[in-house]
Amino acid sequence: MSEAASVARYIDPTIGTLEGEGAQQRALKPEEHVNREASRVWTELPEPSEDEPTYYNRPVLKESVWTWDIPAYYYLGGAAGAALTLGAATQLRPGHDLDQFVRHCHWVGIIGSTAGAGLLIHDLGRPSRFLNMMRVFRPTSPMNLGSWVLAWAAPTAITAGLWVRRGGALGYISESAGYASGAIGLTLATYTGVLVSNTAVPLYIEARRIMPVLFGASALASAAALLDMVHEGDAGCTITHIAGAVGRVGELVAGKALEAQVSRVPRVGRPLKEGVSGALWLSSKLLTVASLAVSFWPGKVKQKRRMAAGLATAGSLALRFAVHYAGKASARDPRATFELQRNRV
């Protein structure tokens, strides 16, 4: 057995065999721990047995181990999904005058979903095993279903662009792939809302009836903003203008509805009002309102579209990061879990 396995186990590998269930668990030598956080020492008096006890205020749940990759993926995957949906919807229009717009939609879908998949793989504890996501088909796991959907997004969008305007079988394949990518896009833009809801985190549990709608609206706003940055000059701009406006208004309305849902138990709603997540949540709202104001400012303003698109992008990103950090804060707070469960009828 390797010497590495004996690290932090105080077993001499020349004498003892390392074959236990946890023997392969990688560990660093004590001197290799650069940032091992020394645990906070509890210095308060033993907690009186009050009505609402906790165990030394320690979290009852484990905080998510996900890093910035995941909220960045919510944004990118959402934008990619909504862009593919817009592309497929535009394909419904007769004629070829918007082919350029459809192509731009497909590019946002291809780049967004591919980069998003890269972020997901980067966040894995064992990135080389990312294909294990496709080992099984498991309807109880939104992450499993999401992996299957994500895997099909770029291939269908690429196929859709290969033989545009060709007749015959190839043209038919491309056209069908375009519509398929739209259906996949719908799922990609909204499933992350289910992904977070399907956890033990109190804030996410309480938000479950609205989170997919919020994520869907945010995805639409993000996609329209990205298309506003790359596309110019034809009726496609009107499509993004309408979609973007609905997306941003939807983001604000769904956000408000979500706040109301999670605040039914005050402790559960707290991370949206306090701390890093609260600040991000507020800035998301302000940025989105600002973006709408710029969009609908009367008169011709130079670079108006780009400015609004930039603000909308920042707003959507802030929203995804707010949800991410609010979930972490919620899991850290034992009273959020306890109060939610005690209030359950």
Q: Is 235 in the site for another protein (CB under 8 A)?
A: yes
Shortest reach from residue 124's CB to another protein, in Å? 5
Q: Is 126 in the site for another protein (CB under 8 A)?
A: yes
Select from 71, 212, 269, 271 the one that contacts another protein (CB under 8 A). 212
Shortest reach from residue 87's CB to another protein, in Å? 9
Shortest reach from residue 318's CB to another protein, in Å? 20
The Cα 132–Cα 73 span in angstroms is 19
Q: Which is nearer to another protein, 220 or 314 (CB)?
A: 220
Q: Which is nearer to another protein, 208 or 283 (CB)?
A: 208
Closest to 29 in 3D by CA, of 2, 60, 6: 6
The Cα 225–Cα 251 span in angstroms is 13
Shortest reach from residue 274's CB to another protein, in Å? 21
Q: Using CB under 8 A, which residues numbered 81 to 100 contact another protein?
A: 82, 85-86, 88-90, 92-93, 95, 97
User: Quick one: three-class SS letters along 121-174?
Assistant: HHHCCCHHHHHHHHCCCCCCCHHHHHHHHHHHHHHHHHHHHHCCCCCHHHHHHH
Select from 72, 76, 177, 220 the one that contacts another protein (CB under 8 A). 220
Select from 136, 167, 168, 302 the one that contacts another protein (CB under 8 A). 136
Looking at residue 315, the DSSP 8-state letter turns out to be H
The Cα 324–Cα 71 span in angstroms is 6
Looking at residue 200, the DSSP 8-state letter turns out to be S
Are 269 and 203 in contact by the 8 Å Cβ rule? The answer is yes
The Cα 60–Cα 337 span in angstroms is 8
Shortest reach from residue 250's CB to another protein, in Å? 8
Q: Which is nearer to another protein, 133 or 262 (CB)?
A: 133
Q: Using CB under 8 A, which residues numbered 269 to 288 contact another protein?
A: none
